[in-house]
Structure 1
Amino acid sequence: MTAVSTATTGAQLLAGYQPGESSLFASPRGTLLAEGTYFAVPPSGRADGHADLARRVDAVLGVAEAAGHEVRTVVGAVPFAPGAAAHLIVPQRLRRGSAPTAVPPQPRPSTGLGALYPVPAPEGYRDAVAQAVDEIRRGQYTKVVLARSLHAQVSGFDPAPVVRALAGRDPGGYTFAVDLGAGRTLFGASPELLVARHGRTVTANPLAGSAARSADPVEDRRRAAALLASAKDRHEHAFVSEQVAAVLRRYCSSLTVPAEPSLVATATMWHLSTVITGEIADPAISALALATALHPTPAVCGTPTEAARAAIGRLEAFDRGFYTGMVGWVDASGDGEWAVTIRCATAGPDGIDLYAGAGVVADSDPAAELAETTAKLGTLLNALGLENADVA
């Protein structure tokens, strides 16, 4: 059997996903199932390991080519913090298939999850947002994204049925499951494309500004219209789209940026969205090089970046790990797709951790930002069959 093969459908690859033995990345363009590890990208040893990540990946792909290995693609995840080690591999075997398709609601998987413990407690999160608003108003930074987590102790958790449920629920997003080793899996369904490169075409789709959806169609349309008209959310969105465009202009010979944001919907959220497209000036610049130049955007960190990152270190009660990093793939030609690692969880021997965050600006309301994180947690809670859990 060859190292690279093509499957007929994304559904076949989803069915073939086995935690601990494979990793999966599904997007509107197609599905990848990476099996086994041929070679791992070595750590950097630098304080800013993201800076030389594309170079290290190119070196590993060169090793694979020199050895005659048929897979010339790296898959995996990059953490939020620049000094933390990425988890990127050349797989032993790579299978490709079509994009996932929507499926009718299936019986909920039995996850065995018990009580969910918020980190921090809801009042602690509101206090952190209030502190950030005060610091913003005093001019320390312009925006910061503050996150919170839910932890559940569980043994023998199987993420595979949850991953399949996520792909069927939001096939227009980016569903992923990355084997991190030592019995740990990063999985989720992100609505946000950080950047993709296919040939000379570059695409980015920053999202910022959100509202929870409603089961009532009339109320759902009202919420969508209110989000599109919200000065606060449009201001927050502009921070992100303008910075993404500014970075991409350094690498593109042409770039198209819509003047106004549009709406994009997932099963649980409305988001303000801007689809930015361009043509790469130098084909030697890979999708991963573009992704590391963009990461972290104000959508997951804030602005200015270093001041916002410092505020996150002071105000958040946990280590983000791979949450708000990036997940995806890049091949030897430079093509690839990298999604922002949101709407995600990490499962391991010590339990499961779910994550969500909200952008804080000068006129943010702590209670509203808490409610936004609760709504965002709904993506994973629904897939886990815990949509009625009290997490706020």
Structure 2
Amino acid sequence: MSTTLADRTAEDLLADHAPGRSYFGSRRGVLLAEGERAMLEPGPAATLVERAERLLADHADGDPDALLLGALPFAPGGVARVFVPERVRRAPALPIPDAIAAAVAPRPSAPVPGDGGPWHVRPLPEPGVYAAAVDEAVRQMRAGGPLQKVVLARALELTAPEPIDVGALLRRLALRDPHGYAFALDLGEGATLVGASPELLVSRHGDLVVARPLAGSTPRLRDPGEDHAGAAALFRSSKDRGEHALVVDAVAAALTPLCAELDVPPEPSLVRTNAMWHLATTVVGRLADPSTTALELAEAMHPTPAVCGTPEREAAALIADVEPFDRGPYAGTVGWQDASGDGEWVVTIRCGIAQDDRLRVFAGAGVVAGSRGVDELAETQAKFRTFLSALGVEEQR
């Protein structure tokens, strides 16, 4: 079922992506899956991990390289897409380009999907409505309610003049941010979940557990001096540091009962993508019970305040009330797990759902008592840039 070819590279597997195939890439390596040996049937959310791991055990057919691949939704009652692929090809990770060479190199030459004409872009909701919703959430927090943070999201509905070339889009996303987690998961019926997430929810390798929550962001700027000044301001920001601490505390609280050791750095670091600077904290632990799997860890941690808020129940209720769309897999988790329980699950952000000539992309911003609607709107616009630049859409219209 699984094949590792020494003469195959990550670029080869990117080039081989086609409709019906699924790709996942990280610094641990990349995989390209095709076919479905078995698919997880709908069932109670409370038994999802048990049912998924039983699916793998029942359909591995003695192959030690068999794995689960899939996406779990943001909402507990949402639709999960989890399956055992028929065949998996693997390769080492994408190379990280030399910083000097990358600065002068031309952009990836993959054709831009939709080159045949202009895209039509429809925001959900309208920008002014979104900014007003942020300000209302801030009003509730300042009035003394239980809500401390909520992540409110927007979507853009894009329509192309021709069918979208998902493979070309995936290559653009993966090559622009090779430090991140690129994915294209076949959702069936011609739909693909495609994206490049910067955020690791959790990984397991033996008894080693790693999580890297992100919270607190600022857009990248074209001028190098201004760009680094913006990053420094983010690092000093008490608002963003407070928002980040809420997420790190929640991650630590979820992992502490499952780990014999847990190292939580006292302050965040800065990480960058093609479009954004983020505050990040790398949390490392050792499992108390070595049989605890990557998927079990992901279930225990999801959703973090980085995609929902705190308290979780109040934040989720406000999201359901305010957002004019079903998040589906957005802000859920996407990844893989093998028969030993090792795996990687990343937060499903900087992503979209492509089908035929349509693409719905998502972006969210963490709202705390110090937030302003106009600022969070600008943050979502910057996060959309990951996709819009890969599509050749320079501005929202």
TM-score, structure 1 as length reference: 0.95
Root-mean-square deviation (CA, aligned residues, Å) is 1.4
Aligned match of 2:227:
220
Aligned match of 1:261:
268
1:202 partner letter: V
Measured after TM superposition, the shift of residue 70 of structure 1 is 6.2
Structure 1 unpaired stretches of 5+ = none
Contact 1:71–1:90 (Cα < 8 Å) also in 2: no
2:234 partner letter: L
Verify: 1:150 aligned to 2:156, yes or no.
Answer: yes
Partner Cα separation in structure 2 for residue 235 and residue 42 of structure 1: 40
Aligned match of 2:36:
37
For 1:112-131, what aligned pairs fall within 5 Å after superposition? 112=114, 114-131=119-136
For 1:1-392, what aligned pairs fall within 5 Å after superposition? 3-7=2-6, 8-20=8-20, 22-44=21-43, 46=44, 49=45, 51-65=46-60, 67-68=61-62, 71-102=65-96, 104=105, 105-107=107-109, 109-112=111-114, 114-138=119-143, 139-154=145-160, 155-349=162-356, 351-386=358-393, 388-390=394-396
1:56 partner letter: R
Contact 2:152–2:364 (Cα < 8 Å) also in 1: yes
1:80 partner letter: F
Measured after TM superposition, the shift of residue 62 of structure 1 is 1.4
Aligned match of 2:101:
none
Measured after TM superposition, the shift of residue 43 of structure 1 is 1.6
Structure 1 residue runs of 4 or more that deviate by more than 3 Å after TM superposition? 2-8, 67-71
Deviation sequence 1:208-246 (CA, Å, 0-9, x none): 000001110100110000000000000000000111011
Provide the secondary structure at the position in 1 that maps to 2:183: strand
Provide the secondary structure at the position in 1 that maps to 2:120: coil
Partner Cα separation in structure 1 for residue 36 and residue 157 of structure 2: 29
Partner Cα separation in structure 2 for residue 99 and residue 53 of structure 1: 30
Measured after TM superposition, the shift of residue 68 of structure 1 is 4.0
Q: How many residues align?
A: 383
Provide the secondary structure at the position in 1 that maps to 2:168: helix
Provide the secondary structure at the position in 2 that maps to 1:250: helix
Partner Cα separation in structure 2 for residue 223 and residue 303 of structure 1: 27
Provide the secondary structure at the position in 1 that maps to 2:174: helix
Partner Cα separation in structure 2 for residue 23 and residue 328 of structure 1: 11
Deviation sequence 1:185-230 (CA, Å, 0-9, x none): 0000000000000011000000000000111010011000000000
1:148 partner letter: R
Provide the secondary structure at the position in 2 that maps to 1:26: strand
1:26 partner letter: G
Partner Cα separation in structure 2 for residue 288 and residue 337 of structure 1: 8
Measured after TM superposition, the shift of residue 13 of structure 1 is 1.1
Provide the secondary structure at the position in 2 that maps to 1:116: strand
Partner Cα separation in structure 2 for residue 56 and residue 71 of structure 1: 19
CA gap 1:153/1:376 in 2 versus in 1, 3 angstroms:
same
Provide the secondary structure at the position in 2 that maps to 1:320: coil
